[in-house]
Structure 1
Amino acid sequence: MKKKFWNWVRNEDTGSRTLVLNGQISDETWFGDEVTPGLFREELQSCEGDITVWINSPGGDVFAAAQIYNMLMEYPGNVDVRIDGIAASAASVIAMAGNKVSMSPVAMMMIHNPITVAMGDKKVMQQAIDMLDEIKESIINAYELKTGQPRTKIAHMMDAETWFNAKKAVELGFADDILYTDGEGKQEAPAAVLFSKIMVMNSFLCKFNKPESEPDTRVSVEPLKKRLFLLSH
């Protein structure tokens, strides 16, 4: 099985688990990552206890993100979300599932409008616009539930593709606090987090250093209603 963009670490001392979400979120293979919502649910529910979710992702498929968001919202234990690098686009939606959302002082969050690829006549293009409008409203639901901000304000921020540093995210309610600022609770990220970061960087570099003779194996973007993405510009 191809590598997943998530990884679980079990803390035997406390009985808690750490979930590492690193890389692009997708429901099918693009650059070697693989997301199987059923498998994710099975792993999430395989043990009891609180979980810590580390996020470092530029975003990806909106429906895959929605499934992960729902699974974390339904999880009976406490979900502590920690953003150590970036939680952009669809990854920011997943972050909203945390009972508590903390950001590193050097982390970033970004929200924007959903994006799709459409081809066809005027009727088809209007269908695409209507569909994107509905998806945007569903995303706003998650942001509104977490932040308490007015829907109109959130919509304007999405229109503008808004980036938040940790302080701004806390100010607007997208995060609850900033890691390490009080000198308490500071801890080393688990080894799996560091290893995952190395693997993501290695994968990123390989994309731009593959031999010219190597065929491009990326999956073509399917037309309207087949593929909807929340990707960073």
Structure 2
Amino acid sequence: MKEKKEKQSRSTAPGGTPPAQHNLARTWDNVGEQMFVPAHYEFSNPDALAAYIAANPVGQLVSGHKGALFSTFVPFYAAPKKKHEKLRLAGHMAARNAQVVAIQENASAMAVFSSPGAYISPRWFCQNVTAPTFSYVSVQARGRLVPVDDPAEKLNILRLTVDHMESLASAGDDDEPWSMDMLTQAQVDRYGPMVAAFYLEVDAIEGVARLNQEKEEKDMRSIVEGLSAQENPGAQHIAALMRQNLRLVGR
């Protein structure tokens, strides 16, 4: 257990604090539990994982019921909690969604959060020419589904979800965010029964940040240059994350 905590403090965390070590790890040892995570792609700092979900809140919720798998894109936010309580991700979906049965039965489930990735061409390798790869960041939260039946609590989940999503969509100080308060009571009364709200009580959370940490510095800089020349959001996103890592090289 102690060794695992030490590894968490060293992990490279997009959007979080830099790892304690000054050089990026380069080892193929698998440090994941139920997710394949080579050590040099480790992303396990709890605060950074929470920040990543907050910045990329729409996750793929996957659960099983009677031998069948169900999956739905769901907007999540981390529900307030006390220090020693489990992380709870609040979400909602249409009440007529077939996956609601799994929620009502407290089924085990997994939410997968990802941001835009990018293809990495061997054309950009200078020192060690290998096969192409794909760079990405992803987080998996696993736990048990808990239905929310209380109408007031359901409405609060919808309200906080909208507030969080509006904060990410804001175009500036002059762009007034939309809120649930702008609905009439008749609209609230109409839409409420159409929604199934729930919590995913998280038992385990793991992440992977595949950002070419195993490459030599010259190759990493060349990859960033190649990605930066592209216009697609995934390439720009990965290039920005790799620049963060490059600041650590040689320290």
- For the superposition of Structure 1 and Structure 2, which TM-score range results when normalised by the shorter chain? under 0.3
Q: Which has the higher contact order (CA 8 A, sep 6+)?
A: 2
Report the TM-score, using the length of structure 1 for normalisation. Answer: 0.26
Larger Rg: 2
Identify the structure with the greater strand proportion: 2
Report the TM-score, using the length of structure 2 for normalisation. Answer: 0.24
